[in-house]
Amino acid sequence: AKAEDGRLTSHPAVVELGELLDKLSSDLKLAADKKGLEMVFKSNSDQTINATTSTVAGSERVVRPLYYVYADPERLREVITNVFDNAAKYTESGKITLSITGNAQVVQCYVKDTGSGIPADDLPHLFQKFYRVDNSATRTIGGTGLGLFICRKVIELYDGQMWAESELGKGSTFYFNLPRIDNQKAARLQTAAAANPVYL
């Protein structure tokens, strides 16, 4: 109800999303480990960081772009964790990839799995309230059908977009885009926040 009528608690701030994902990937790796799944974190799409070993494929040192967005970091953690947990639930073997990339206008994150995939007829309804794909896996695992609905509402709260692509037998990929703010604007917003702190 809060997500629908605008009462969702939000404390937006300047977030360097690459750093947030990097830190979060350690916790997400534990969820993947529990199912024997490989977990990979990719930054800027051309460098692959294996979260299992923290080594970078083909490079000793990575200079990572700074992907600044203006959003509540706790809400973003909830979105990423929810989508990742879903991927772990519905992937029996293989790997889950967490990725971040972007251009001058947009920061894009995705969670990609090697699970069973989602039927094409269900894809347009995934983010509807209480909607659940009806198959043996979802009946066994359970759930309310609210997780993805709330995730999309959170992303839209920060003028972003969220969607999914999938193919039966080949896994699913959940994307979200957020407006990117440049380094200068990020610095200005951080300075303004420091001068006028909000005490919760």
pLDDT tens for 60-85 read 455 678 999 999 999 999 999 999 99
Rounded to 5 degrees, φ, ψ at 192 are -65, -40
**pLDDT tens-digit readout, 123-174:** 888 888 766 665 544 444 555 567 899 999 999 999 999 999 999 889 999 9
Give the phi and the psi of residue 93 in degrees, each rounded to 5: -155, 160
Secondary structure tally for the chain: helices H, strands E: 6, 9
Distances (CA, A) of 17 to 39, 40, 169: 18, 16, 31
Q: Return the H-helix or E-strand segment holding 177.
A: strand 171-179
Contact 156, 8 (CB under 8 A): no
State residue 144 phi and psi, 5-degree precision. -100, -15
**pLDDT, tens only, 160-192:** 999 999 998 899 999 999 999 999 999 999 998
User: Partners of 38 in the beta sheet?
Assistant: 95
pLDDT at position 127, please?
A: 83
